[in-house]
Structure 1
Amino acid sequence: MTEHYEVIVCGGGMVGAATACALAHGGIKVALLERFNPERQWPPEPIDIRVSALTKASQNILEMLGAWPGMLQRGVCAYRDMRVWDAGADGELHFDCADTPFSELGHLVENRITVAALWDQLDTLPSATCIAPAKVIDMQLNENSRQLRLEDGRTLEADLIIAADGRDSTLRAMAGIAVTGWDYHQDGLVATVSTEMSHQFTAWQRFLAEGPLAFLPLKNGQCSIVWTLSSATAKKYLALADKDFLQVLEQASGGILGKMLDVGPRAAFPLRFQYANRYIDQGLALCGDAAHAMHPLAGQGVNAGLLDAAAIAELVIQTKREKRPLSSSRFLRRYERWRKGDNLMMMSTMDALNKTYRITAEPLVGLRSAGMNLVNSSVLAKTYFNNYAMGLRDDLPKLAKRQICW
């Protein structure tokens, strides 16, 4: 027997769960498929190494979806300043929430906290069905719908399938949507560290020869590090004893937070620039990493994905209100036009910054440093970059502007 839904969202991480949550708020009969049932409770320590910096726009979306109180309860950490400096020269940037209308620039949140709070909300929404564990093994295109077959033998059908199943999206491959991109031959090494000096609720980032090293403040006083390294160096650093790794990290930090006292488990993930050549197909849309994967140096990947979620949900709800089919290519093309350009702009900016800070030629290093200092001394430039980094730009989905879309 085939189960029928209006929309099926594949991938129950932050982006997929937010998409399903927004749709269900709008009365859309939606199924959320996830390969693993996400945890909802865990001991207070240790902090998970998978952490995201959420912008004000992302906070707005999560507040409108009702997930933010559950996230606050589990623990988030506001950061009020951001300090960026160039280890190869004297260039530096300082962004301060005092220069904005807000009391913080953003929040550092464990990924599992955002996911758990969204799934908690989904439990309260009558038009939402969460199916986990669920693994899609086949997708068929019918005249006005798509049909999914799960590993357990179940068959599901919907007017629209939304693929939010990650950078190596199974559904994107099944739909035959090609990607464009390249490997950076860099890894992002992540860990949680204890430092001698307080993080001061500041996000610190030092640009080094192989890539940036970021210290991101956590609610328990520790820092989450994201260190971009060549793949070979990352592999070497993962193999170091804790004591030796802390010594290398302290040297790389330039002593900005004093001695490195302790480190938890370390992991590294390969970095890639990648975008789907098309965000849509008949009765199918891509969201989040399934559509785009960018360098993590400014932590914008999940924020771009949450904007995708808010945009596709807004358009689906509007399309249903207008009594048009949810498989309509007209609204899907609107979604692609809306999000693809913004995402490519963000991705290209991150790519250019990563390449700029890997330059070692002396005249260009000096020019780069002078540019940083020029931006740092300009109120107009800093206001623009502050707003852009907080996600407060033109053409945002309604949820990102704290407006309901249902």
Structure 2
Amino acid sequence: MTMQAEVIVVGGGMVGAALACALGHGGVETLLLDRRSPERQWDESLRDIRVSALTKASQAILEGVGAWRGIVQKGAAPYKDMRVWDGRSDGYLHFDCADTVFPELGHIVENRITVAALWDILDGLPTVQCITPAEIERMESIENGRRLRLTDGQSFEAPLVVAADGRESALRSMAGIGVTGWPYRQDGLVATVQTELEHQATAWQRFLEEGPLAFLPLFDGQCSIVWTLSTETARNYLALPDDEFLRLLQQASGGILGDMLKIGPRAAFPLKFQFADRYTDSHLALVGDAAHAMHPLAGQGANAGLLDAAALAEAVIDTQRSGRPLSGVQYLRHYERWRKGDNLMMMASMDLINKTYAVGNPMFAKLRSFGMNRINHTTALKDYLNRHAMGLRDDLPRLAKGQVCW
């Protein structure tokens, strides 16, 4: 027996789950498929080493679908300041929420918290059904839609299938959509650390020879670190005893948070610049990491994915309400035009910044620092960059502006 739906979303991470929530609120019959059910309960003494810096636009999306209250209850850490400095010169940037109309610049949230809060909302949406475990064996084109066959023999059909299944998207490969990009030959080493000094609700980032080191404030007073290192260095640092790793971490931090007292489990993830050659195909759309992967130095990957989800949900709901079929192509082309340019601009900016700070030439470092300091003392330019980093830019989906799209 084949199960029918209007939209099938493959991948129940924060982007896929947010999309399914928005579609469910809009009354769209949606199936959400994932290899496993997400973690909903955990040991409160242990932190998730994967976190995201959620912008004000992302907060608005999550508020719109009803998940933000649960995120705050489970643990969201507002950050009010962002301090960025060059470890090889005197370049410095300071962004302060006091220069905005908001009480904070954004929030640092463990990924598991965001996903769990979204799945809590999915439980109460009558037009959404979550199916786990679900492993896709193949995807077939059918008249006016696509069919997905699972390894356990189940099959599902819909006029639209959405790939939210990550950077190595199986659905993207099955559709024959290529990718363009390159590996950075860098890894992002992540962990949770207890520091001597309070984090002061501040996101700290120091640019070093191999890449930036970020300290992101958590709600329990600890910090999540994201340390960009060469792949070889990251591998070596993972193997170090805790005390030796903490010594190197403190040295790299420049002492900004005092002694490094305690470190949790460590992991490292390869970094890549990658974008899909197209975001859509017949009866198929890509969102999140399936469509694009960017350097994490500004923490924009998850936020870009949530904007994808909000934009696609708006396009689907508007199409359905206008009486047009979801098997059409016009709304998918609109979605691709809407999101691809914005994502490529953000990705290119992150790539340029990463390459700029990789240059070790002393004269270039002085020029780089001059630019940072000039921006720091140019109010209009700094305000523009601050608003852009907060996700408050033009042409946002309605959800990202605090308006529902259903």
TM-score (structure 2 length as normaliser): 1.00
Which residue pairs with 1:2 in the alignment?
A: 2
Write the mapping of 1:238-253 to structure 2, written as runs, cut at 5 A: 238-253=238-253
1:320-339 → structure 2 map (5 Å cutoff): 320-339=320-339
Map of 1:124 onto structure 2 = 124
User: Partners in 2 of 1:220 and 1:321 — Cα distance?
Assistant: 44
Q: Tell me, what secondary structure is at the counterpart of 1:247?
A: helix
Inter-partner Cα distance in structure 1 for 2:73 and 2:134: 29
Matched with 2:363 is 363
Partners of 2:362 and 2:400 in 1: CA distance: 42
- 3-state SS of paired residue (1:82): strand
Deviation of residue 41 (structure 1)? 1.2
> CA offset at residue 309 of structure 1?
0.1
Where does structure 1 differ by over 2 angstroms across 4 or more consecutive aligned residues?
none
State the shift of 1:152 in Å.
1.3
**Which residue does 2:304 correspond to in 1?**
304
| Secondary structure in 2 matching 1:357 | helix
What does 1:186-265 correspond to in 2, within 5 Å? 186-265=186-265
Q: 2:68 — aligned with what? A: 68
SS at match of 2:374: helix
- Looking at structure 1, the residues matched to 189 and 363 of structure 2 have their Cα atoms a distance apart, in angstroms, of 30
> Residue 289 of structure 1: CA displacement?
0.1
SS in 2 for 1:205: strand
**Which residue identity lines up with residue 218 of structure 1 in the other structure?**
L
| Structure 2 unaligned residues grouped into runs of 5+ | none
SS at match of 2:261: strand
Aligned counterparts, 1:165-176, within 5 A: 165-176=165-176
> Residue 103 of structure 1: CA displacement?
0.2
Give identity over the alignment, percent: 68
Deviation at 1:402, TM superposition (A): 0.4
Taking the aligned partners of 1:360 and 1:42, their CA distance within structure 2 comes to: 44
2:137 aligned residue: 137
Shift of 1:153: 0.8
* Corresponding position of 1:92: 92
Does the alignment pair 1:278 with 2:278? yes
1:40: Cα distance to partner?
Answer: 0.9
Please tell me the residue identity of whatever aligns with 1:326. L
Q: Tell me how far apart the structure 1 counterparts of residues 39 and 377 of structure 2 sit (CA, whole Å).
A: 46
Q: How far apart in 2 are the matches of 1:57 and 1:311?
A: 12
Aligned to 1:378: 378
CA distance in 1, matches of 2:124, 2:312: 21
Q: Counterpart in 2 of 1:347? A: 347
The separation in 2 between residues aligned to 1:369 and 1:39, in whole angstroms, is 44
For 1:361 and 1:71, the matched residues in 2 are separated by 44
* Superimposed CA distance per residue, residues 350-381 of structure 1 (whole angstroms, 9 cap, x where no aligned partner): 00000000001111110000000000001101
Q: Secondary structure at the match of 1:57?
A: helix
Q: In 2, Cα distance between the equivalents of 1:150 and 1:325?
A: 26
Instruction: Write the deviation string for residues 51-82 of structure 1: whole angstroms up to 9, x where unpaired.
Output: 10000000000000000111111111000000
Q: Which residue of 2 aligns with 1:113?
A: 113
Tell me what 1:159 maps to: 159
Find the counterpart in structure 1 of residue 11 from structure 2: 11
CA RMSD of aligned residues (A): 0.5
Partner of residue 182, structure 2: 182
Matched, 1:31 2:35: no
The TM-score, its normalising length taken from structure 1, stands at 1.00
Structure 1 spans left out of the alignment, 5+ residues? none
1:400 corresponds to 2:400: yes
Counterpart CA distance in 2 for 1:140 and 1:324 is 23
2:389 aligns with 389
Deviation at 1:123, TM superposition (A): 0.6
Displacement of 1:323 in angstroms is 1.0
Distance 2:292 2:8 in 1: 20
- Count the aligned residue pairs: 406
Letter in 1 for 2:336: E
- Deviation of 1:159 (Å): 0.5
Shift, 1:169, TM fit = 0.1
Partner SS, residue 159 of structure 2: strand
CA displacement at 1:43 relative to structure 2: 1.9
Aligned-pair distance for 1:306?
0.1
- Measured after TM superposition, the shift of residue 322 of structure 1 is 1.1
Deviation at 1:33, TM superposition (A): 0.5
In 1: Cα distance, 2:382 partner to 2:261 partner? 34
SS of structure 2 residue aligned to 1:262: strand
Letter in 1 for 2:395: D
Provide the C-alpha distance between the structure 1 equivalents of 2:327 and 2:386, rounded to a whole number of angstroms.
38
Cα separation, 2, equivalents of 1:220 and 1:331: 44
Q: 1:4, CA displacement in angstroms?
A: 0.2
Q: CA deviation at 1:333?
A: 0.4
SS of the residue corresponding to residue 315 of structure 2 reads helix
SS in 2 for 1:305: helix
**What SS does the aligned partner of 2:391 have?**
coil
